[in-house]
């Protein structure tokens, strides 16, 4: 049977794959596993519940709250709030665990359920597996003791906002009046992110995607649709644009010329700044296998070690925790400051990036160019194939070996199944764009021809 949990929680089409019944029983299973320590200590477990504004989050949130309460857990419902805020509030309120209902950058019809352990940490695979085992047990089996209560987490957003502002230098205003455009993806950051940047001293000259209606999350806006933000930065003569995704755990930036500054470039800028200030633990950056070869070369020149993990900010965080390191992230814009957060936080990342701009007086374009050179990278998503067969296919392995031999040390090849979508990602980096594109297209063709086609959904 396929594993229920993917790269980032349980995802699917709301009300078809991710039903109220599944949400209820998943919450009950989570209550048993994550609340066990509290119950063994003779107290009722407590959980923080958050969601993004997509409309299905309403019925899924009700189902999760019911499942937790019926499992003997007191629920503090924070309502619509970013994923990193839920993680922060678990730690800040000393809750036993947390649940976030969101499908991140996915379109509105999708949704997901992810758990945070005590301290706001993402769950290791073994704990997710334990929840899946518990999910197979008899449904609605009673837990000894009183059922839980459900209450509003009244000051959730205020507590999170104060935390964000506390991460900035004490000089006021920390962001020095930087003119910016902000894109909230019609998502969970639509309220708190504009407030955070304004309170920190930036001037938000245009606000995009800050009017969620439950259906428009990530729809042509946000960190995966940057065209509108690029145009707005140029039109407003702004110094920077910042974009989040639907649950605000990502940050992508636009420089004053309208150029995209992705997660790798943001990490390079911030890692170099931390290194220069003696605030980069272990002089090490942790990134995933998707990060650009240019990031590796830039860190090598600066004397910063780079460690790679599997794709997913949870794996970056695991390495940070395991090795006592402090900073890392993903090309997609998940950036983790372990000193301040237990997950990727798009608002925190944007604040820290603007703080470097304010402190150095340099435009973002200069900071990015000084930090790293980006190797041309082509990414092709191959849909309609059985991604589970990728690892064992000999034809694909041979094609990858041929590409790697041709590219040598001037490029890189990565094929992997998506952890959140039914597709295979084909990524090629090379010293020039034409070479990267040609090899990516060749490999994508091999994947299409070699892997079995998926059965159409009825």
Contacts of 40 (CB under 8 A, 6+ apart): none
Lowest mean pLDDT among 206-215, 236-245, 384-393: 384-393
Could you give the CA distance from residue 251 to residue 60 in angstroms, rounded to a whole number?
A: 26
Whether 171 has a pLDDT exceeding 90, the answer reads: no
DSSP readout, 67-125?
A: HHHHTT-EEEEEEE--HHHHHHHHHHTT-SEEEEE--TTS-TTEEEEEEEETTTEEPPH
> Is the N-terminal amide bond of 23 cis, ω within 30° of 0?
no
Ramachandran bin of 156, using left for φ above 0, alpha for ψ from -120 to 50, beta for the remaining angles: alpha
Rounded Cα distance between 404 and 201, Å, is 48
Whether 104 is catalytic is yes
Q: How far is CA 409 from CA 297, 329, 398, in A?
A: 11, 24, 18
Q: Are 305 and 271 in contact (CB under 8 A)?
A: no
pLDDT at 431: 87
Note the pLDDT tens digit of each residue in 10-50.
999 999 999 999 999 999 999 999 999 999 999 999 999 99
Cα–Cα distance, 134 to 220 (Å, whole number): 39
pLDDT (mean) for 434-454: 93
pTM of the model as a whole: 0.90
CB 290 within 8 A of CB 414: yes
Band (410; pLDDT cuts 50, 70, 90) = confident
Q: Which of 371, 291, 364 is nearest to 332 (CA)?
A: 291
261 vs 160: CA distance, rounded Å: 26
Alpha carbon distance 273, 95 (integer Å): 34
Please report the pLDDT score of residue 143 as a whole number.
62
Distance of alpha carbon 458 from alpha carbon 443, whole angstroms: 30
**Per-residue model confidence as pLDDT tens digits over 92-121:** 999 999 999 999 999 999 999 999 999 999
Which of 286, 273, 290, 268 lies closest to 369 in space, CA to CA?
268
| DSSP E strand stretches across 213-344 | 240-243, 252-254, 260-261, 284-288, 305-309, 327-329, 335-337
Q: C-alpha angle 400/403/404, rounded to 5°?
A: 85
Task: Give dist(CA 333, CA 122) in Å, integer.
Answer: 17
User: Cα-atom radius of gyration of the chain, to the nearest Å?
Assistant: 22
- As a whole number, the mean pLDDT across the chain is 94
Model confidence at 170, pLDDT cuts 50, 70, 90, reads confident
Specify whether the CB–CB gap between 269 and 299 falls below 8 A: no
Residue 458 scores a pLDDT above 50: no
Percentage of the chain with pLDDT > 70? 97
Q: Catalytic: which of 56, 104, 190, 355? A: 104
Residue 6: what pLDDT? Answer: 83
Q: How confident is the model at residue 145 (pLDDT cuts 50, 70, 90)?
A: low
Q: Are strands 179-183 and 97-101 parallel, antiparallel or unpaired?
A: unpaired
What are the structural domains of the chain?
A: 10-154 (3.40.120.10), 160-371 (3.40.120.10), 377-450 (3.30.310.50)
Given this model, what pLDDT does residue 73 score?
Answer: 96
- Residue 456 is predicted with a pLDDT of 62
C-alpha to C-alpha distance for 239 and 146, rounded to whole angstroms: 55
Q: What is the mean pLDDT of residues 424-438?
A: 93
Q: What is the DSSP-derived secondary structure letter of residue 452?
A: P
Q: Which has the closest alpha carbon to 316: 292, 347, 343, 279?
A: 343
Do the Cβ atoms of 418 and 104 come closer than 8 Å?
no
Contact 379, 425 (CB under 8 A): yes
Q: Look at residue 457 and tell me whether its pLDDT is greater than 70.
A: no
In this structure, what are the phi and psi dihedrals at residue 431, rounded to the nearest 5 degrees?
-70, -15
CA pair distance 257, 231, nearest whole angstrom: 9
249 marked as binding residue: yes
DSSP-based three-state secondary structure for 429: strand
Find the length of the chain. 458
Q: Give the containing element (helix H, strand E) for 239.
A: none
The whole-number pLDDT of residue 455 equals: 72
Q: Residue 1: its pLDDT value, please?
A: 56
104 annotated binding-site participant: yes
What are 52-102's pLDDT values in tens digits?
999 999 999 999 999 999 999 999 999 999 999 999 999 999 999 999 999
């Amino acid at each position: 049977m396929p594993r229920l949990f993917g790269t980032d929680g349980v995802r699917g089409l709301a009300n078809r794959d991710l039903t109220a019944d599944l949400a209820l029983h998943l919450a009950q299973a989570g209550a048993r596993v994550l609340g066990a320590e509290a119950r063994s200590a003779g107290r009722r477990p407590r959980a923080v519940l958050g969601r993004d504004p997509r409309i299905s989050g309403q019925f899924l949130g009700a189902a999760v709250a019911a499942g937790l309460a019926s499992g003997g857990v007191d629920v503090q419902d924070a309502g619509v709030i970013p994923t990193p805020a839920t993680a922060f509030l678990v730690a800040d309120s000393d809750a036993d665990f947390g649940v976030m209902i969101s499908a991140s950058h996915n379109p509105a019809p999708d949704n997901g359920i992810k758990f945070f352990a005590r301290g706001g940490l993402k769950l290791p695979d073994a704990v997710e597996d334990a929840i899946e085992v518990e999910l197979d047990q008899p449904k609605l089996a009673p837990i000894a003791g009183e059922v839980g209560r459900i209450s509003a987490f009244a000051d959730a957003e205020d507590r999170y906002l104060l935390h964000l502002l506390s991460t900035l230098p004490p000089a006021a205003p920390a962001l020095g009046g930087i003119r910016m455009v902000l894109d909230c993806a019609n998502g969970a950051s639509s309220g708190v992110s504009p407030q955070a940047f304004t309170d920190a001293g930036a001037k938000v000259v245009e606000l995009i995607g800050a009017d969620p209606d439950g259906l428009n999350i990530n729809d042509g806006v946000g960190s995966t649709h940057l065209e509108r933000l690029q145009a707005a930065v140029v039109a407003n003569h702004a110094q920077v644009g910042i974009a989040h995704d639907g649950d605000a755990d990502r940050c992508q930036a636009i420089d004053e010329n309208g150029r995209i500054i992705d997660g790798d470039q943001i990490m390079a800028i911030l890692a170099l700044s931390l290194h220069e200030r003696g605030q980069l633990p272990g002089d090490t950056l942790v990134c995933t296998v998707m990060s650009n070869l240019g990031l590796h070369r830039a860190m090598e020149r600066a004397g910063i070690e780079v460690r790679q993990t599997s794709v997913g900010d949870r794996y970056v965080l695991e390495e940070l925790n395991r090795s006592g390191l402090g900073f890392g992230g993903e090309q997609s814009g998940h950036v983790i400051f372990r000193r301040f957060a237990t997950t990727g936080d798009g608002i925190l990342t944007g604040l820290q990036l603007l703080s470097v701009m304010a402190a150095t007086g340099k435009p973002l374009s200069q900071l990015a160019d000084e930090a790293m050179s980006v190797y041309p990278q082509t990414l092709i998503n191959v849909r309609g194939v059985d991604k589970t067969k990728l690892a064992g296919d000999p034809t694909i392995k041979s094609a990858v070996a041929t590409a790697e031999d041709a590219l040598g040390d001037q490029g890189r090849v990565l094929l992997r199944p998506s952890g959140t979508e039914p597709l295979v990602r084909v990524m090629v980096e090379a010293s020039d764009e034409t070479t990267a594109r040609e090899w990516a297209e060749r490999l994508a063709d091999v994947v299409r021809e070699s892997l079995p086609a998926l059965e159409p959904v009825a």
